[in-house]
Amino acid sequence: MKKSKKQKPIQGALFKAIIRFFSWFPLRWNHRLGAMIGWLLWRIPNRARKITAKNMAIAFADYSPEQQQALVKKALIETGKTFTELGPLWIWSQARLLPLVKRIEGEDPIKQAFEQGKGVIVLSPHIGAWEMMGWYWSVHYQITSLYRPPRIGSIEGFMRHVRERAGANLVPTDLTGVKALRRALKANQMIGILPDQDPGKSGGVIAPFFGHPANTMVLVSKLAAKADCPIFFTYAERLPRGEGYVLHIKPADPALASLDEFEAASALNQGVEGCVRHLPSQYQWSYNRFKHLKQHGS
């Protein structure tokens, strides 16, 4: 019985139907639908709005209340687009998706990094179309990425299929997955990690993020220190009116590979923060990143 409850086949079928429905529309109309959903999130009391507003008040304490609220509204509208664009990003063909990449800034250093023969780590925070970022890497490079199984078991196969359809290798967030990441780096391949997820009680340290304590993963620094490989932050900027995306690639601070976990985690958060400040409204502020704040007296 427990297994069937976790599978939740009805919810899974509904989710897949919604994703396919969103794939029917051109990106401009898809984003308009997403903006409508985001507007509703702004108007109707809900958990996403509550957490987004709380995070904005923490991260942008120097903003006036009016400025914070304006940013909350924009962020929730972008959150709606993040959901609806799963249709195109998960369902559309390579021939239809590639033209959406209008410009790539900073890719040459990644190509040159492979000449070192140590592999490359790409870190993609939850900014803009982060699913587009993972898809792009899998089209152009051999990439192994960490994968956290969904809470609804009946959609796991679907999610793995759409994310691996271009050649990506998804591995679980456990010891076997970490070993697979190390093997990929030894083979001079690319590995991908979402660096701004809460790593749990045993997988991280508390380090400043926007000047406040946040539980931060140490896996990246451990992998980088052992492999001595180049690291890059990457994110896909969502252009207005459904015009497509600009991919941004930025070298990470070498301190991210420090053996001092706090120093490395601080450098990781600083890198994520730099990306977020470029596109503050497109960050996933509905994620409760500061949930440990009260425990540390801030």
Mean predicted lDDT score pLDDT of the chain: 94
Cα distance between the two ends of the chain: 43
Largest CA-CA distance found in the chain, in angstroms, rounded: 53
pLDDT of res. 293: 64
Residues counted in the chain: 298
- Examine the pLDDT at 202 and tell me if it is beyond 90: no
Measured distance CA(52)–CA(128) in Å, rounded: 15
- Examine the pLDDT at 2 and tell me if it is beyond 50: no
Q: What's the average model confidence in pLDDT over 64-68? A: 97
pLDDT of res. 209: 97
DSSP-based three-state secondary structure for 234 = strand
Q: What's the average model confidence in pLDDT over 271-287? A: 97
Measured distance CA(183)–CA(280) in Å, rounded: 35
pLDDT of res. 201: 82
| The model's pTM | 0.94
pLDDT tens for residues 161-200? 999 999 999 999 889 999 999 999 999 999 999 999 888 8
Q: Band of the pLDDT at 297, cuts 50, 70, 90?
A: very low
- Examine the pLDDT at 14 and tell me if it is beyond 60: yes
The two three-digit tokens of residue 15, written as one number: 């989710």
Closest CA to 142 of 166, 158, 125: 166
- Contact (Cβ atoms closer than 8 angstroms) between residue 83 and residue 23: no
Between the alpha carbon of residue 116 and those of residues 109, 200, 227, 238, 250, the distances in Å are 11, 33, 11, 32, 18
The two three-digit tokens of residue 236, written as one number: 């896909």
pLDDT of res. 151: 87
pLDDT tens for residues 105-162? 999 999 999 999 999 999 999 999 999 999 999 999 999 999 888 889 999 999 999 9
Q: Which residue has the tokens 């959609």?
A: 155
